[in-house]
Structure 1
């Protein structure tokens, strides 16, 4: 049976987070050695900007290694998935797809690419490709809107919710390895993968999305359910060994980011100013690095998104280290390579940030 969504504005908020602003001058962290002692970093001196594209530029997907970036171009009705090596300058087309591309993602373990396409308003398809361009699977979903989350370690597993024109929805867990589809019963369509085979959803209180809710964990294999003791939860995200639970403080002035490591249960909590978009909390996007640390944005003060200053800081949070500022500047999209050495920034991810030095430079030349 389809379930009705009670928090339609939450879904709209997810769609709005891609609207970002421009980069300001980067923050230059202090150096731990003197200029006389400092040796040039050969790797950082070999960045080769891309100037010749295979077709018209569409968008950047992200990193498939510490040096390779995937991006999309278009030639007439064909969409091309390209790779570019920032140190050698190697630029090649991996594969071509003829349907309009709605979204593209790279799995966190860098093993697969997922392309969401749609040629009409009532259905969408998720295509799974190898990094060599071989199509491994295709799932077609009848829906007017689609939300999905990829398991952080098992690239065959996805959770998705299909929304219909009357804003009812159905949720499922799909395995591309076995082609098995399981219906998932939940009142929260925006589930997120947690540890192992668990899906996290938030039990939101009736007509009150600002107070947050409790975390519900459902094991997709055993079907066992558990309610977390944590309260005021507004967001959750996980990587292979670490998860973060974002909650709102009792006075609603702080976001509390609690990082939990699975293997030993060690946890750390950071307090950042809370941001709201009128009736909903605005949780800045989160990027996980290969060492289990995460990047996100910190606002200069609590308040409404439209009223607070635009000077957000890109910060790094770790279970074992204090919070570190990576870049000072307004809120915008970012994508970092697995090592955290480089991050793509900018409205179209057209700039490359050298994290250690704070220097930014364009890695791709886009026509005006």
Structure 2
């Protein structure tokens, strides 16, 4: 009897130990499941730049009031400025692609014609048109506070920020007959100075240097010499001859010229600040009655990526119907990458990181460069 009783006691102890071990194992599994982050924890991290924008962009934009006019540009990788019109007034809104929220930034009682964001994203230029022959320029902070407002007697205005000194903006003020004045607006000093420059479309090449194509109006040509001029000097210097178009960035100069004697290809060449060639590529070009068509392009200095819309062959522009290919070129490695095909020749604007681009005549579309997707920003 004592043996049976001992066996029963041992059996009972083993059962208790088994239950305790099982309970501990089950508790551990339960704790591991509870330790996994829930979906809400992931979605709350909306300030972190997306690794896959198309999975987190909140689109389309819901227009809070009025009618969508156009997108003005990038304020950051996930923030856009867009304009709406309501009767005779215009408003600027800040849209967050990650949260889907719109914030009213600025309201004008007269229509907004132009919105430009400075290269560093620290200032916003608003051009309004109170009347046919008046242009009003307002400079805002990114929060929408007014820094300066000034009116110009003008039929049309064109602007060029100084990327090395953003308190300065070159303003080309056109009359109705397209004669013009070249002005320098100093935001910090709150003054405007008239400059003596023979061409209206100029670019900054340095803190006090500008470049422009010196077209000869008496002898029309496809190409013109590219000149360098210091603002405090009357002397000019020829940088390159026979240039069709050019663009200038902080430390990069890009020219569009002819590639071959037959003029079948357009050559895009990039130079450093010492005018030494860094990279060059060629694409077909389209001819027009007055010259060549240079498709829209943009350049991201941060990663050295240049994107352009490329025609598939060289023909007359009016007869061309095969669409454009959006291609990215890396000026550092020389590699190129096809992004999208069958597009129209419409403006493109890269985001600060270069991972996305606004596209369209009103920047009403957005392109994910990595996934090569084209999405609508606003419902049609």
TM-score class, shorter: 0.7 to 0.9
Cα distance between partner residues in 1 of 2:273 and 2:87: 48
Alpha-carbon shift at residue 354 of structure 1 (Å): 1.3
1:95-116 deviation per Cα after TM superposition (whole angstroms, max 9, x unaligned): 1111211111111211111111
Cα distance between partner residues in 1 of 2:123 and 2:57: 25
Q: Could you say which residue in structure 1 is the equivalent of 2:339?
A: 326
1:210-234 deviation per Cα after TM superposition (whole angstroms, max 9, x unaligned): 43111111112x4263323411112
1:148-167 deviation per Cα after TM superposition (whole angstroms, max 9, x unaligned): 22223422212222222343
Cα–Cα, structure 1 residues 309 and 43, in superposed 2: closer, same or farther, change >3 Å?
A: closer
**1:231 equivalenced with 2:244 (yes/no):** no
* Further displaced range: 263-272 or 146-155: 263-272
Secondary structure of 2:244's aligned partner: strand
Cα distance between partner residues in 2 of 1:68 and 1:166: 39
Cα–Cα, structure 1 residues 140 and 276, in superposed 2: closer, same or farther, change >3 Å?
A: farther
**1:242 equivalenced with 2:252 (yes/no):** yes
Secondary structure of 1:306's aligned partner: helix
Alpha-carbon shift at residue 60 of structure 1 (Å): 1.0
**1:360 equivalenced with 2:374 (yes/no):** yes
TM-score by length of 2: 0.79
Cα distance between partner residues in 2 of 1:280 and 1:183: 31
Cα–Cα, structure 1 residues 83 and 43, in superposed 2: closer, same or farther, change >3 Å?
A: same
Q: Highest relative contact order (Cα 8 Å, sep 6+), 1 or 2?
A: 1
- Mark the structure with the bigger radius of gyration: 2
Choose which of 237, 258, 261 in structure 1 pairs with 2:272: 261
Choose which of 63, 83, 88 in structure 1 pairs with 2:74: 63
What are structure 1's unaligned runs of at least 5 residues? 1-39
> Which protein is richer in helix relative to its size?
2
Choose which of 326, 335, 353 in structure 2 pairs with 1:339: 353
Alpha-carbon shift at residue 61 of structure 1 (Å): 0.9
Cα distance between partner residues in 1 of 2:97 and 2:367: 12
TM-score by length of 1: 0.81
Cα–Cα, structure 1 residues 288 and 122, in superposed 2: closer, same or farther, change >3 Å?
A: same
Alpha-carbon shift at residue 257 of structure 1 (Å): 1.2
Secondary structure of 1:45's aligned partner: helix
Q: Could you say which residue in structure 2 is the equivalent of 1:198?
A: 209
Choose which of 280, 288, 291 in structure 2 pairs with 1:280: 291
**1:50 equivalenced with 2:60 (yes/no):** yes
Cα distance between partner residues in 2 of 1:107 and 1:363: 22
Cα distance between partner residues in 1 of 2:84 and 2:222: 43
Secondary structure of 1:204's aligned partner: coil
What are structure 2's unaligned runs of at least 5 residues? 1-49
Alpha-carbon shift at residue 201 of structure 1 (Å): 1.3
Whether contact under 8 Å (1:242, 1:292) holds in the other structure is no
Runs of 4+ in 1 over 6 A off after TM superposition: none
Q: Could you say which residue in structure 2 is the equivalent of 1:308?
A: 320
Choose which of 60, 80, 84 in structure 2 pairs with 1:73: 84
Choose which of 176, 183, 190 in structure 2 pairs with 1:179: 190
Alpha-carbon shift at residue 239 of structure 1 (Å): 1.7
Q: Could you say which residue in structure 1 is the equivalent of 2:305?
A: 293
Secondary structure of 1:356's aligned partner: coil
Alpha-carbon shift at residue 251 of structure 1 (Å): 3.3
* Further displaced range: 201-210 or 119-128: 201-210
Whether contact under 8 Å (1:86, 1:363) holds in the other structure is no
Cα–Cα, structure 1 residues 82 and 43, in superposed 2: closer, same or farther, change >3 Å?
A: same
Cα distance between partner residues in 2 of 1:294 and 1:109: 19
Cα distance between partner residues in 2 of 1:43 and 1:171: 42
Q: Could you say which residue in structure 2 is the equivalent of 1:36?
A: none
Work out the number of aligned pairs and report it: 326
Q: Could you say which residue in structure 1 is the equivalent of 2:365?
A: 351
Alpha-carbon shift at residue 59 of structure 1 (Å): 1.1
* Further displaced range: 200-209 or 171-180: 200-209
Cα distance between partner residues in 1 of 2:278 and 2:89: 47
Secondary structure of 1:340's aligned partner: coil
Aligned Cα root-mean-square deviation (Å): 2.3
